């Protein structure tokens, strides 16, 4: 399908992103899967190529692109090789960066943003708790005043980049009497007394992306670690979740597109009963249906991506994009596993790994059920 989302600048950037992926990611995917983490050298190389600061102004070492289509291109190129690598780098550059750029003081920006651009400071964001899941307003991690400082206690789980991040944005309750309006964001840095990490979590998929539990026991923070205004954390998260969700939708679809393309080549070459398996009517019709569904979804996501680039994307539209793309991604990749037959169940084949990687997309960034709840409320139900 011919896409109208991009211009010549985006096409040139895609060639640079593709070259980075082919040189740095593709040859090392197996190693990243085995060790359950992406080498820091990858982050540093991405920094040298100017790929980590697309959301960060030039004065702090970023690209200052101010055009989400560049983020889209980078995510698509990563996802065509491995969805977990895209997730790890995306949390850093697409999710955390806007919090710091929009909300931090000048001193805080000088402290963290240049290192984020070079890859020397790796970041994550800690919202989810063991007892909370998608219910961010019910979080239990808390921070209480102690003189001019804050004392942070609690735990988080399923935190992408959590095992290796140098700085993590943590949502904590600072005023229990105010409900959702009593939540504040803090920057917690590696080496702070009382900040500990659990083991790298043993996930079904997304293996290159290190994921961990985080524990805070009387972690002492100053006002210099408060991000934005006290008590505004929930609002800040709600304001920025649409970008996380459209970013997830872009990645979901690019991941499915990549697996579909590989499967199409496979069914042209794999033979059974004297002919390529793609020529059997059932398989041909199924591939035709999947191709159409991918193209229709691509058109939808491209429109919303352009709306987000103009600052017009709504939370409901982002929810639609997130849930629909996750469903399409899982449907397409599951069908591709079936078309591979027994080989599709072997982890040495990318389609099997992609199948495992895709399942979580219906859960994270707000479960698909929560997305439908948001859409339903907007319908007046």
The dihedral sign for the CA sequence 12, 317, 137, 197: negative
Is 244 tagged catalytic?
Answer: yes
Tokens of 80: 């065509």
Q: Is 275 buried (19+), middle (13-18) or exposed (0-12) by CB count in 10 A? A: exposed
Q: Are 119 and 164 in contact (CB under 8 A)?
A: no
Q: Are 353 and 204 in contact (CB under 8 A)?
A: no
Residue in 115, 86, 136 with CA at minimum distance from that of residue 190:
115
Neighbouring residues of 48: CB distance < 8 A, sequence distance ≥ 6: 118, 119
263, 266, 268, 270 alpha-carbon torsion, rounded to 10°: -140
Distances (CA, A) of 181 to 104, 137, 158, 228, 268: 19, 9, 24, 13, 57
Indicate the helix (H) or strand (E) that contains 109: helix 106-118
What DSSP state is assigned to residue 201? Answer: P
Long-range contacts of 193-196 (CB under 8 A, 24+ apart): 193/218, 193/219, 193/220, 194/152, 194/218, 194/219, 194/220, 195/219
Tokens of 319: 């929810």
CA-to-CA distance for 18 and 61, rounded, in angstroms?
22
Length of the chain: 381
Strand pairing category for 211-221 and 226-227: unpaired
Looking at 55, 129, 213, 244, which residue is catalytic?
244
Neighbouring residues of 151: CB distance < 8 A, sequence distance ≥ 6: 143, 144, 145, 218, 219, 220, 221
* Residues assigned a catalytic role: 244
């Amino acid at each position: 399908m011919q896409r109208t989302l991009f211009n010549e600048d985006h096409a040139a950037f895609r060639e640079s992103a593709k070259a980075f992926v082919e040189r740095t990611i593709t040859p090392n995917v197996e190693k990243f899967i085995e060790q359950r983490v992406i080498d820091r050298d990858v982050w540093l190389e991405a920094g040298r190529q100017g790929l980590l600061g697309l959301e960060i102004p030039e004065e702090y070492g970023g690209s200052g692109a101010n055009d989400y289509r560049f983020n889209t291109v980078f995510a698509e190129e990563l996802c065509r090789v491995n969805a977990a690598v895209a997730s790890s780098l995306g949390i850093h550059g697409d999710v955390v960066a806007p919090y710091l750029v929009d909300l931090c003081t000048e001193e805080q920006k000088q402290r963290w943003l240049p290192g984020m651009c070079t890859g020397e400071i790796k970041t994550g964001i800690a919202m989810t708790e063991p007892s909370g899941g998608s219910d961010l307003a019910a979080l239990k991690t808390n921070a209480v005043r102690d003189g001019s400082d804050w004392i942070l206690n609690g735990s988080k789980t399923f935190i992408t980049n959590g095992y290796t991040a140098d700085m993590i944005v943590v949502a904590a309750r600072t005023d229990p009497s105010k409900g959702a309006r009593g939540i504040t964001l803090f920057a917690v840095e590696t080496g702070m007394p009382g900040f500990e990490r659990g083991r790298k979590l043993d996930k079904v998929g997304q293996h290159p992306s290190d994921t961990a539990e985080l524990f805070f026991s009387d972690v002492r923070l100053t006002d210099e670690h408060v991000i934005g205004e006290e008590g505004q954390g929930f609002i800040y998260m709600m304001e920025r979740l649409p970008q996380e969700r459209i970013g997830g939708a872009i990645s979901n679809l690019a991941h499915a597109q990549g697996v579909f393309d590989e499967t199409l080549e496979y069914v042209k070459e794999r033979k059974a009963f004297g002919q390529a398996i793609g020529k059997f009517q059932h398989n041909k019709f199924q591939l035709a249906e999947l191709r159409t569904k991918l193209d229709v979804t691509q058109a939808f996501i491209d429109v919303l991506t352009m709306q987000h680039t103009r600052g017009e994307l709504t939370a409901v539209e982002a929810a639609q994009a997130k849930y629909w793309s996750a469903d399409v991604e899982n449907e397409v990749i599951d069908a591709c596993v079936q078309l591979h037959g027994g080989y599709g169940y072997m982890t040495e084949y990318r389609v099997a790994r992609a199948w495992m990687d895709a399942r979580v997309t219906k859960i994270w960034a707000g479960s698909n059920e929560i997305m439908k709840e948001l859409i339903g409320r907007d319908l007046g139900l």
